[in-house]
């Protein structure tokens, strides 16, 4: 999609259906851990890491204690962020680490905190159960980073999820994800593309978002803790198109995806590449844990 077509479609920065949408030639950004300016969501992982001592005492089978801990964390985080301001949101990522029963018990405990959404309350293999999760809470339910086609998204839309999170790198690229977004629109759902990846994936997500009326927010990983030796912006010649302005990305107006890749940096990184595998996590009793 060329720059002329992009500019003709005025994207909107959305506020989770709260107060509607306002015209704005920018996209809101979502970050894990930190963000800069604007309406800034934070994504917290419920249950934490099983390899930490705190979570050996506090497993994902203990929703009441998780709920109490979430309330304690929510208060200091808002204080550190400058007080209980309405321009900040906190989302909760369960990452499929809960059973349906436990997730249903946890959600009402989080409702007084008004989280932005709850993500992946159950593993994608159990998507047929997600309607019961939707019916158990007023918090919007998000899912989809591990769903890869319209056919896989259709049942969760029918179940009532509020936010779809397709990953363009895995779900058929721009074309298929645009179709997923159009399908979401027929179920009054928004999209928040999953993208903890590199600049090509991020620029693709942004181009999709600028042309999609039901786009909510864009996840990205610039500056995140796991980018050791491989920061997202290390692979572009000009970082300006991916700069943050009041917590938003501005319209990409350059040719193609709107960024220029530093091919030398990519080749250098490829020469040092080591095969990466998901970490293997275990609960305190030695049983396998969802990563």
CATH value at residue 252: 3.20.20.120
Catalytic position from the list 194, 215, 225, 283 = 194
Distance CA 118, CA 93 (A): 6
Task: For the chain, give the DSSP string.
Answer: --HHHHHHS--EEE-TTSS-EEE-SEEEEEESS---SSSEEEEEETT--TTSHHHHHS-TT-HHHHHHHHHHHHHHHHHHTTSS-TTEEEEEE-TT-S-HHHHHHHHHHHGGG--S-EE-SS-GGGGGGHHHHHTT-SSPEEE-TT--SHHHHHHHHHHT-SEE---TTTTTHHHHHHHHHHHHHHTT-EE-----S-HHHHHHHHHHHHT-TTB--EEE-TT-TT-TT--GGGGBS--GGG-EETTEEEPP-SSTTS--B-HHHHHHHHHT--------EE-TTS-EE--
**pLDDT score at 203:** 97
Characterize the bridge pairing of strands 281-282 and 288-289.
Answer: antiparallel
Which pLDDT belongs to residue 44? 58
Which of 2-6, 67-71, 114-118, 196-200 has the least mean pLDDT? 2-6
- Domain of residue 65: give its range: 3-289
- Tell me the C-alpha distance between 158 and 161, whole Å: 8
pLDDT at site 45:
61
213-233 per-position pLDDT tens digit: 999 999 999 988 777 778 999
Which of 206, 282, 259, 210 lies closest to 8, judged by CA? 210
pLDDT at 42: 58
Annotated catalytic residue 61: no
Active-site annotation holder among 42, 95, 215, 225: 95
Number of domains the chain contains? 1
Q: Is 170 a catalytic residue?
A: no
pLDDT of residue 110 exceeding 60:
yes
């Amino acid at each position: 999609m060329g720059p002329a077509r992009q500019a003709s479609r005025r994207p909107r920065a959305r506020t989770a259906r709260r107060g509607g949408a306002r015209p704005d030639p920018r996209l809101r950004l979502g970050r894990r851990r930190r963000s800069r300016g604007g309406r800034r969501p934070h994504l917290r992982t419920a249950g934490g890491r099983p390899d930490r001592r705190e979570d050996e005492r506090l497993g994902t089978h203990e929703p009441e204690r998780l709920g109490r801990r979430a309330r304690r964390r929510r208060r200091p985080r808002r204080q550190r962020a400058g007080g209980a301001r309405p321009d900040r949101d906190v989302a909760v990522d369960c990452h499929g680490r809960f059973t349906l029963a436990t997730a249903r018990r946890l959600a009402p405990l989080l409702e007084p905190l008004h989280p932005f959404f709850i993500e992946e309350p159950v593993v994608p293999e159990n998507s047929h159960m997600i309607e019961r999760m939707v019916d158990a809470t007023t918090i919007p339910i998000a899912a989809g980073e591990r769903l890869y086609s319209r056919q896989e998204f259709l049942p969760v839309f029918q179940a009532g999820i509020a936010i779809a999170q397709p990953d363009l790198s895995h779900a058929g690229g721009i074309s298929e994800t645009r179709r997923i977004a159009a399908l979401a629109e027929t179920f009054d759902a928004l999209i928040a593309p999953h993208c903890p990846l590199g600049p090509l994936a991020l620029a693709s997500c942004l181009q999709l978002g600028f042309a999609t009326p039901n786009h909510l927010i864009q996840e990205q990983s610039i500056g995140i803790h796991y980018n050791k030796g491989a920061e997202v912006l290390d692979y572009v010649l000009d970082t300006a198109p991916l700069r943050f302005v009041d917590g938003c990305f501005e319209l990409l107006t350059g040719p193609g995806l709107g960024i220029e890749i530093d091919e030398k940096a990519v080749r250098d990184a490829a020469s040092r590449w080591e095969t990466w595998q998901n970490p293997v996590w275990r609960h305190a009793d030695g049983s396998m844990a969802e990563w």
